């Protein structure tokens, strides 16, 4: 598949970078066509501009993010790798969604402002790989997995309702042994290997 791998972590030697590397290596080993975007390294500007906001309900001007929107439209699958901070997306990843998953690209507004109309009919899979400092039970039992719910229901659902969603959430990531990191890399590779080819 044509797979867009998006990394959102400011440190090049982070756990997230290591997991993204494992994902990319496995994607390529499995024969997928991979494009990788490192939002921090690329200097992606996450703030929606005044002009972009003004064109939200007319004809959205995506000219400032044309390379990113082209990648989104190209992809059959998307792999997102990021830390969960304050039980939310990093600002740079939220901004990527705000500016790239835009009207006329990822969806259309209904004339009566009813439900959004999806445009990403070719997107077949989204895999989320995220790290958290908290234990699993806080995310699952107290907060009801806010990050995965938002990505699955509020982003993917309206834009690519036919796409499959899966997530690998790694908990207690503040202090990890090398063996634990290797175990996490292996889980990433196994999940990538389970994606269909073509």
Read off the CATH number of the domain in which 187 is found. Answer: 3.40.50.360
Residue-number span of the structural domain to which 109 is assigned:
2-193
Beta bridge partners of 6: 37, 80
Domain-located, residue 133: yes
Domains contained in the chain, number: 1
Region of residue 163 (phi > 0: left; psi between -120 and 50: alpha; otherwise: beta): beta
Domain-located, residue 198: no
User: Whole-number mean pLDDT of the chain?
Assistant: 96
In tens, the pLDDT along 63-122 reads: 999 999 999 999 999 999 999 999 999 999 999 999 999 999 999 999 998 999 999 999
Q: At what angle do helices 15-29 and 178-193 cross, to 10 degrees?
A: 40
Asked whether the predicted pLDDT for residue 49 surpasses 90, the reply is: yes
User: Model-level pTM greater than 0.95?
Assistant: yes
């Amino acid at each position: 598949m044509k797979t867009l791998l998006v990394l959102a972590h400011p440190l090049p030697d982070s756990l997230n970078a290591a997991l993204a590397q494992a994902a990319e290596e496995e994607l390529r080993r499995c024969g997928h066509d991979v494009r990788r975007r490192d939002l921090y390294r690329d200097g992606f500007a996450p703030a929606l501009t005044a002009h972009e906001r003004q064109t939200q309900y007319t004809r959205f001007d995506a000219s400032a993010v044309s390379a990113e929107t082209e990648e989104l439209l190209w992809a059959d699958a998307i792999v997102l790798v990021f830390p969960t901070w304050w039980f939310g997306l990093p600002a740079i990843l939220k901004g990527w969604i705000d500016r790239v998953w835009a009207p006329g690209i990822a969806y259309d507004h209904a004339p009566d402002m009813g439900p959004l109309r999806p445009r990403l009919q070719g997107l077949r899979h989204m895999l989320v790989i995220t790290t958290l400092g908290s234990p699993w039970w806080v995310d699952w039992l107290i907060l009801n997995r806010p990050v995965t719910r938002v990505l699955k229901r509020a982003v993917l659902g309206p834009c690519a309702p036919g796409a499959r969603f899966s997530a690998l959430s790694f908990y207690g990531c503040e202090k990890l042994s090398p063996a634990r990191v290797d175990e996490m890399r292996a889980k990433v590779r196994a999940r990538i290997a389970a994606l269909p080819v073509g």
